[in-house]
Structure 1
Amino acid sequence: MNNASEHLHQRVIHHLSTIYDGIVEPDDMESLAQAAIDTMRVNDVETSPEAFINHWDEQDVILITYGDSLISDAKKPLQELHGFMQEHCKGYINGVHVLPFFPYSSDDGFAVIDYSSVNESLGDWCDIEALSSDYRVMADLVINHCSSRSAWFQNFIKCDGPGHDFFYTASPDDDLSQVVRPRTSPLLRETETLKGTQHVWCTFSHDQVDLDFRNTKVLLTFISIIRQYLDSGVNLFRLDAVAFLWKEVGSTSINLPKTHEVIRLLRCLIEHAQPDAVVITETNIPNQQNLSYFGNANEAHCIYNFSLPPLLLNTLVTGNCRYLKQWLMSMPPARNGTAYFNFIASHDGIGLRPAEGLLNDEEINQLVNTMSSFGGCVSWRNAENGQRKPYEINIALYDALQGTVNGPDRWGEDRFMCAHAIMFALEGIPGLYIHSLLATGNDYEKLENTQHNRSINRHRWQIEDLTSQLARSHTQHAKVLARMKHLLALRIKQKAFHPNATQFTLQLGGQLFGIWRQSLDREQSVFSVSNVSDQEQVLNLADINLIDLQSWVDLISNSTIDVSAGTMILAPYQTVWITNR
């Protein structure tokens, strides 16, 4: 065994000893570590991964989409997605997060029946591999739970076969009062098995039965799943709902230390198998808890910037960036080897837990009421004190930004583009939801059919209808797509927009939101300034310290900045990216 292999072996033993202390006998740790290494096929690594290496740059933009967001009678949905990206995204977007593409029973893919198969209605593994030949592919590792219709759970009911001992059970008499979860349904599912009644832990729904990582076979099974995904071209791993992975009766069962240790172990194995692979944690929780998933640059490479969507939405509907600035100034820069994953819309709603402590109750209620007036829905959770609190807002972002707290107005499209111009400029890797790229509105028909609030923002486009809409330049879909591609074409060429480039928040008042970015080589600066209000605003150029001896240009409008004028006027929701090239 060479030095790198020996070092990996010792690291794996350390992680496993921390996770399974008191569960696995110390004498068995060696064989368990070897089983994990064998399963990931990293027996003969020659070098250890370098620490603090950025596996991304300013050209990284990820499209977020379901595998069947685009459908037709002519091709499988994954093939339609690939064709759409080749036609409309190539040269602008270099990665794609295909939301769960496995056989499932509910929650639009997040109740996985079989982790090893592609849902045949979408395509097959060859389609995933084809996507990966042109784009970086992110896949969900739905690691906290699986479907109650899975073979594993059916074997649990039969008390025999693979998976029969994979599930976390508790007693209704246990003290579960501290458990934190994002749903109001009962935590325990009563299930009749051949060995009697069992009460299965269900963090999310009774069709999503929680896995028990105290069983080492569960861990080894997921290591095997990761290996299969790597072999199929996946190199970005989104650990879904991972904050809830480890449960302990009498605790909150969220963010527990052993959850963090499992992530460290998986990262260690993944980066030894493929050094440029990236682990992203999906932890829709308050901001400071979310930041903890960076660990000491040894857990997630990237964390979802969950506080950004509600704070940016609040900024643009109130016309004041106070809370957005306060939050941004409190955020630590991501050290090399880690990055924020920025998004402002996704398949889920706009989470409100990440706004707790950042927006007060009055601000949150105003935001909820405004979104409700724009046709949105609200999902609720039970708080620790038994009080019902809003958990997330369900609405298409294009409709969410149709107006302000005063109601709809004529600035909807500009406000929508302003939101994306801000996101594209921020420190981190941008994730762009396909329905934002296409300016898709609320899908009330799907909402009515499913009776699930999240369906409002999960439209399926018939490719013929979409093609027709995009062929007419005056439609909102064509206009937004063209404007989005213009911004992206600029963004990916600016070294100052590297995900780890320096960022400072500018103090320009409540109606102008500004940041300064400087490239890692310090050769380029970009001042991103956005008017977040529905009135013209005056930008004093002295406030952003433009040096008159240099030539400055606004990238977005491709116009030269006359520094000697002292000021410039920003139209409602206009963004400027001022740079010295």
Structure 2
Amino acid sequence: MAFDDDRDAETFLLRLKRYGADLQDSLRPLYGEETGTLLGQLLEVMLRAFHARPTDLRRLDEARLLQPDWLQQPGMVGYVAYADRFAGTLRGVGEHLEYLEGLGVTHLHLMPLLKPRPGENDGGYAVADYRAVREDLGNMDDLSDLARALRGRGISLELDLVLNHVAREHEWAERARAGDPKYRAYFHIYPDRTGPDAYERTLPEIFPDFAPGNFTWDEEAQGWVWTTFNAYQWDLNWANPGVFLEFVDLILYLANRGVEVFRLDAIAFLWKRLGTDSQNQPEVHLLTRALRTAARIVAPAVAFKAEAIVAPAQLIHYLGRGAHHGRVSDMAYHNSVMVQLWSSLASRNTRLFEEALRAFPPKPTTTTWGVYVRCHDDIGWAISDEDAARAGLSGEAHRRFLSDFYSGGFPGSFARGLVFQYNPATGDRRISGMGASLAGLEAALEGGDEGRVNDAIDRLLLLHAVILGFGGVPLLYMGDELALLNDYGFADVPEHAPDNRWVHRPCMDWALAGRIEDEPQLPAARVNAGLRHLLRVRREAPHLHASIESRVMPSPDGRVLLLRREHPLGEMVQVYNFSEDSVTLPACSLRNALGERSQDLLSGSAFNLNGGTLHLEPYRALWLVGAE
């Protein structure tokens, strides 16, 4: 294939020289003798995509290469929404970019919008066609137009890339059912229960309520198909190099459509191994590294975000350890921060939060965390018994307490949440709910108690202050910036009714958004103004560059979390009161880090730490730096 000019040829060859060995080293342990053939096929796919890459995206590639820490800047802010629930269609989303820009968003994650199977589709995660958009949202040209408009405002488009499975209606699965041996080899299909039964001995159930087991008999395929999540989602066989080649082609196709960040969905499940839970296998990291390397050659502006909701010891591998250091994903979800935020808020105690953070090994300095108050999924109480024991708690009892508290069953609870996927065998109860409802605003408004309304607003802003100060890319989930409450109307929609996670996936209330400037007393307006202030301060704080990590400082009071960030320009200490109590701290507890004088970036207040005490109002947050 000929290059357009010598400069293009030189660019491609230089990148190939830089990353070629990395690509080969990642693939050979996976595919052995087949690697040579695969590399030849990959080169053709990458060359074709490189030639097709639009000029403005090539410029973005060069800009990102000159600023490799673009994703780590303190000004990075993500916003997560379903396109239809935010604005109806992709064109509708394009009509609200001024709103996103005004909020300070630099990174828009539109939840699954590639063409799913008809009917039940796991919220869009059962993809029938990766090269088409849901028909009710628009088409691929609309997606490209939106991506271009976003880029013009400095906002990167993120899409979900479902890697573990495809819909039963996907062309590959249809060909497999028709008997095509090439495509049957894309899946795990067994003629009888011998193989499935052997695997099931060590496999957990993801959705025990409505999708028990991990295999489904398919009459047309005449076999048992591996279906980890739902019967209509067929797990792919990544041990087949053909599957890897298909996904490189898909990633580059979507990158050329303007997708800048790929959320790698269900990535922990890609590699299957008998006698294990078939999660977090070493081959997963080789696969991710190889996919990222191929993207680096053609589209270096692209970043990968790993959706791996796993234990800290496993999570760090998705950012890279050892030979993979900094070569796997650019970002990973810090699920533990979300869990500990809600745990500390309910218990008014941060000791478990401290222990959980101490358990995390340091990440590669070139990578970043995605941090969030809540997400589109439920909240699972991922609290290890070991962390709990170090904090003087029973892990099982604390998880039960949190489920009781956030479902409103615990005496004195302020929360309004719904139990999701109760597992009587393990006692596991996950929680669904909007941030404002879980923080107490729904109950406070119903009770007409202004004091409790104020507490709920303060709680919601405290939680956001923590994720904005923690370091990484803070992810705002649609509606939280307006303190939207639970949407119980989900039960009236047949395809949503069985899944109560739709209670926290409401439609955007544009009428309310339009009122907040004229009615500043509204809870929505107060939360929005507070959040915008936090975001403005964050953008101007170099201490929050994501190459620096937040470290726990010993706190003299269990209600208060202290985090320390050691930046070359000076240290920052963050102070968070997770209770409705006024708390007094000895000033000397902060003086060693900050010196005798400090300033709070959030309020502008100055503090003398030479002696005496530091007074914290309920739910107060401080971002302290040393002062001259």
For the criterion TM > 0.5, the same-fold answer is: yes
The aligned amino acid for 1:20 is Y
**What is the aligned partner in structure 1 of residue 620 from structure 2?**
574
Pick aligned residue for 1:65 from 58, 70, 81: 81
1:221-280 Cα shifts (integer Å, max 9, x gaps): 111110012112222121100100111344321111222211111111122223342211
240-249 or 551-560, which deviates more:
551-560
172-181 or 532-541, which deviates more:
172-181
1:186-231 Cα shifts (integer Å, max 9, x gaps): 21111112xx521111111112221122222221111111001211
Pick aligned residue for 1:304 from 311, 317, 333: 333
Pick aligned residue for 1:143 from 135, 150, 163: 163
- What is the distance in 1 between the residues matched to 2:346 and 2:254? 41
- What is the distance in 2 between the residues matched to 1:504 and 1:255? 26
Question: Does residue 77 of structure 1 match 2:89?
Answer: yes
**What is the aligned partner in structure 1 of residue 36 from structure 2?**
30
The aligned amino acid for 2:417 is G
- What is the distance in 2 between the residues matched to 1:91 and 1:335? 29
Cα 1:147/1:4, change in 2 over 3 Å: closer
Cα 1:11/1:565, change in 2 over 3 Å: closer
**What is the aligned partner in structure 2 of residue 420 from structure 1?**
464
Question: Does residue 20 of structure 1 match 2:20?
Answer: no
- What is the distance in 1 between the residues matched to 2:165 and 2:236? 5
The aligned amino acid for 2:564 is W
Query: Quick check: 2:599–2:606 contact (8 Å CA) kept in 1?
Result: yes
**Aligned ranges for residues 522-533 of structure 1 at < 5 Å?**
522-533=568-579
**Matched position secondary structure for 1:290:** helix
**Matched position secondary structure for 1:116:** strand
**What is the aligned partner in structure 2 of residue 341 from structure 1?**
370
- What is the distance in 1 between the residues matched to 2:178 and 2:598? 71
**What is the aligned partner in structure 1 of residue 21 from structure 2?**
10
Question: Does residue 436 of structure 1 match 2:480?
Answer: yes
The aligned amino acid for 1:172 is R
**What is the aligned partner in structure 2 of residue 375 from structure 1?**
416
**What is the aligned partner in structure 2 of residue 130 from structure 1?**
149
**What is the aligned partner in structure 2 of residue 158 from structure 1?**
178
**Aligned ranges for residues 357-372 of structure 1 at < 5 Å?**
357-359=386-388, 360-372=395-407
- What is the distance in 2 between the residues matched to 1:403 and 1:441? 8
**Matched position secondary structure for 1:393:** strand
Greater fraction helix? 2
| 1:58 CA displacement | 0.9
Query: Quick check: 1:514–1:529 contact (8 Å CA) kept in 2?
Result: yes
**Matched position secondary structure for 2:147:** helix
**Aligned ranges for residues 180-191 of structure 1 at < 5 Å?**
180-184=204-208, 185-191=212-218
- What is the distance in 1 between the residues matched to 2:277 and 2:241? 22
RMSD: 3.1
| 1:527 CA displacement | 2.0
149-158 or 358-367, which deviates more:
149-158
- What is the distance in 1 between the residues matched to 2:594 and 2:387? 38
Query: Quick check: 1:287–1:355 contact (8 Å CA) kept in 2?
Result: no
Question: Does residue 238 of structure 1 match 2:263?
Answer: yes
- What is the distance in 2 between the residues matched to 1:380 and 1:343? 22
Query: Quick check: 1:548–1:564 contact (8 Å CA) kept in 2?
Result: no
**Matched position secondary structure for 1:513:** strand
**Aligned ranges for residues 459-478 of structure 1 at < 5 Å?**
459-464=506-511, 466-468=513-515, 471-478=518-525
- What is the distance in 1 between the residues matched to 2:583 and 2:246? 57
Cα 1:128/1:447, change in 2 over 3 Å: farther
- What is the distance in 2 between the residues matched to 1:348 and 1:524? 37
**What is the aligned partner in structure 1 of residue 106 from structure 2?**
94
**What is the aligned partner in structure 2 of residue 118 from structure 1?**
133
- What is the distance in 2 between the residues matched to 1:17 and 1:356? 38
**What is the aligned partner in structure 2 of residue 515 from structure 1?**
563
Task: Give the unaligned 5+ runs of structure 2.
Answer: 1-9, 52-57, 389-394, 409-414
| 1:414 CA displacement | 0.4
Cα 1:541/1:37, change in 2 over 3 Å: farther
**What is the aligned partner in structure 1 of residue 54 from structure 2?**
none
| 1:558 CA displacement | 2.3
The aligned amino acid for 2:219 is E
Q: Percent identity?
A: 23
Task: Give the unaligned 5+ runs of structure 1.
Answer: none
- What is the distance in 2 between the residues matched to 1:401 and 1:489? 23
Cα 1:356/1:245, change in 2 over 3 Å: farther
167-176 or 425-434, which deviates more:
167-176
- What is the distance in 2 between the residues matched to 1:294 and 1:51? 21
Cα 1:51/1:303, change in 2 over 3 Å: farther
- What is the distance in 2 between the residues matched to 1:130 and 1:43? 22
Query: Quick check: 1:307–1:355 contact (8 Å CA) kept in 2?
Result: no
| 1:93 CA displacement | 2.1
**What is the aligned partner in structure 1 of residue 116 from structure 2?**
104
508-517 or 553-562, which deviates more:
553-562
- What is the distance in 2 between the residues matched to 1:575 and 1:230? 39
| 1:115 CA displacement | 0.7
**What is the aligned partner in structure 1 of residue 69 from structure 2?**
54
Cα 1:496/1:9, change in 2 over 3 Å: closer
Cα 1:79/1:552, change in 2 over 3 Å: farther
Query: Quick check: 2:262–2:303 contact (8 Å CA) kept in 1?
Result: yes
Q: TM-score, normalised by structure 1?
A: 0.89
